[in-house]
Amino acid sequence: MKRNYLLLTPGPLSTTETVREAMMQDWCTWDKDYNEGVVMPIRRGLLEIAGLDENRYTTVLLQGSGTYCVEAAIGTSVGPHDKLLILANGAYGERMARIADYYRIDYKLVSLRETEPVTGAAALKALAETPDATHLSMVHSETTTGLLNRIDEVADVLRGRDITFIVDAMSSFGGIPIDIEKLGIDYLVSSANKCIQGVPGFGFVIARKEKLRAARGNARSLSLDLCAQWETMEKGRGKWRFTSPTHVVHAFRQALQELREEGGIAARHRRYAENHRLLTEGMRGLGFRTLLPDDVQGCIITSFLYPSAAFDFSDFYEKLKAKGYVIYPGKISEADTFRIGNIGDIHPADIGGLLEAVGEVLRS
């Protein structure tokens, strides 16, 4: 199956041929071979690569995009008498506040600049101003810019405060090592089509069982009731409450196996980091500047400033696409940028090909 182009985006992203081939059959959602033979091993496998004990943690799969799972985690965990503190420095952190608005959740949004990382100091200041906070949510890899927020520092601030910690690790879990238990993360949210390199169609929440049990009855949505989904999957041995995306689930099982074969999260992180290093050095050599300084830049996606006021991103995009490379427009309000992703079935040789194509486009 020949690729039409390489996706250098934060997801959906380029997948292997074997992941795509896994979707070439049809399966029944009620079948024991599917639920017990595919879904349950995926749930256990996610805990395994995260280094978690299934006696204390669980994985809940949920249909839809990653935002569905963020909404499910917030809408289920934050009760009617709770207070949510949101630390945001980009579009995806701000989206948590929109979710809270829809659910009429009592919350405080702390909006930092899009180029300013969420740090322990920021969390400490926000908590001092919000002493009644019972929950704190934030994004780990904020793909608005490519900034990697300091969940380790925030975890240190939260330790001993009995505050539920919700982390959107959409674009980092599977590609960046995260010690969920050590950091005291109660709900970690990610998606099939990110660093595990599956295809779009479902997301998942890794949750501390104790917290999930305590949240029973909080949900304001039928479809996004995380507790109900968990209970059904436990009792039904992998059964989803509503029709599951069977083809996508099979593709994810293959992607999870390929992550293990690559050497796990640490090995994948090394590849992504090398992709990012080559990309950044190469683009700087071609005259581009990165939006972020290196000390806060993550290896998932990189924002580049327009090289001049006359730069036409649409033309640049189309010419690169014609050469087999699809990049991403910018999303930041402070500057004109575009973004290039380093994740997916992308390897250093692919980055070399991209840089050659960028050079050709600039010369043309």
> CA-to-CA distance for 214 and 231, rounded, in angstroms?
13
Q: What are phi and psi of 186, to 5 degrees?
A: -90, -35
Q: Flag whether 1 is in a domain.
A: no
Q: Flag whether 160 is in a domain.
A: yes
The predicted structure's pLDDT at residue 356: 98
Helical packing angle, 246-262 and 264-285, nearest 10°: 90
Split at pLDDT 50, 70, 90, the class of 69 is: very high
> CA-to-CA distance for 267 and 227, rounded, in angstroms?
33
Cross-strand pairs, 302: 340
C-alpha distances in Å from residue 283, one per residue of 115, 141, 275: 20, 21, 12
- Residue 356 in tokens: 């050659």
Q: Flag whether 35 is in a domain.
A: yes
The predicted structure's pLDDT at residue 1: 56
What is the chain's alpha carbon radius of gyration, rounded to the nearest angstrom?
20
Sheet of 202-208, strand order: 57-63, 202-208, 187-191, 164-168, 135-139, 84-88, 107-111
Q: What is the mean pLDDT of the chain?
A: 96
Split at pLDDT 50, 70, 90, the class of 39 is: very high
Same domain as 147, residue 250: yes
CB 238 within 8 A of CB 38: yes
The predicted structure's pLDDT at residue 334: 79
Same domain as 283, residue 214: no
pLDDT in tens, 243-284: 999 999 999 999 999 999 999 999 999 999 999 999 999 999
Q: Flag whether 196 is in a domain.
A: yes
The residue type at 20 = R
Which of these, 207, 168, 170, 175, lies nearest to 76 by C-alpha position?
207
**Average pLDDT of the residues in 206-219:** 97
**Average pLDDT of the residues in 64-90:** 97
The predicted structure's pLDDT at residue 10: 87
Q: Which residue has the higher pLDDT, 78 or 332?
A: 78
Torsion of CA 63, 61, 155, 123, to 10 degrees: 20
Which of these, 328, 322, 320, lies nearest to 356 by C-alpha position?
320
> CA-to-CA distance for 253 and 233, rounded, in angstroms?
17
Residue 247 is inside which H or E element, if any?
helix 246-262
Which of these, 327, 174, 321, lies nearest to 252 by C-alpha position?
174
Measured in residues, the chain has a length of: 364
The predicted structure's pLDDT at residue 3: 80
Q: Is 327 exposed, middle or buried, given 0-12, 13-18 or 19+ CB atoms closer than 10 A?
A: buried
The residue type at 328 = Y
Which of these, 88, 132, 134, lies nearest to 110 by C-alpha position?
88
Among the three residues 236, 260, 284, which one is the final residue of a domain in this structure? Answer: 260
Same domain as 132, residue 71: yes
Locate tokens 């090289």: which residue? Answer: 307
**Average pLDDT of the residues in 196-202:** 98
**Average pLDDT of the residues in 86-101:** 97
Instruction: Check which CATH number belongs to the domain holding 214 and give it.
Output: 3.40.640.10
Which of these, 226, 189, 174, lies nearest to 51 by C-alpha position?
174
pLDDT in tens, 137-191: 999 999 999 999 999 999 999 999 999 999 999 999 999 999 999 999 999 999 9
Same domain as 238, residue 137: yes
Same domain as 175, residue 46: yes
- The DSSP secondary-structure symbol of 290 reads B
| Residue 236, CA atoms < 13 Å, CB-side half-sphere | 20
Same domain as 183, residue 36: yes
The predicted structure's pLDDT at residue 331: 77
Same domain as 203, residue 334: no
pLDDT in tens, 47-66: 999 999 999 999 999 999 99
Instruction: Check which CATH number belongs to the domain holding 278 and give it.
Output: 3.90.1150.10
Same domain as 323, residue 209: no
> CA-to-CA distance for 142 and 157, rounded, in angstroms?
20
End-to-end CA distance of the chain: give it in Å, rounded.
Answer: 31
| Residue 110, CA atoms < 13 Å, CB-side half-sphere | 23
- Residue 157 in tokens: 């601030």
Domain with 184 in it: 17-260
Same domain as 235, residue 122: yes
